[in-house]
Amino acid sequence: MAMTQSGLVADALTARTGRAVELVGVTTEGDVSKALLAQIGGTGVFVNGLRERLLDGEIDFAVHSLKDLPTGPADGITLAAVPPRDDPRDALCGPAKLADLRRGARIGTGSPRRVAQLRALRPDLDVVPIRGNADTRLRKVTDGEVDAVVLAYAGLNRIGRLDAVSEIFEPDQMLPAPGQGALAIECRADRDDLIELLAILDDAPTRAAVTAERALLATLEAGCSAPVGAYAAWEDQIVHLTGAVVGYDGERQIRLSESGSPDESERLGRDLALRMLAEGADQLMGESTS
Q: Could you give the residue numbers annotated as active site?
A: 68
Length of the chain: 290
Give me the torsion for CA of 100, 103, 104, 107, rounded to 10°.
0
Contact 3, 25 (CB under 8 A): yes
Beta strands across the sheet bearing 90-93? 126-128, 106-108, 148-152, 90-93, 165-169
Residues with Cβ within 8 Å of 279's Cβ and at least 6 positions away in sequence, in order, are: 254, 256
Dihedral (CA of 102, 108, 112, 117) sign: negative
Rounded to the nearest 10 degrees, the angle between the axes of helix 112-121 and helix 281-289 is 100
Helix (H, G, I), strand (E, B) or coil at 206: helix
Please tell me the distance from the alpha carbon of residue 16 to that of residue 33, in angstroms, as a whole number: 37
Rounded to the nearest 10 degrees, the angle between the axes of helix 265-278 and helix 281-289 is 80
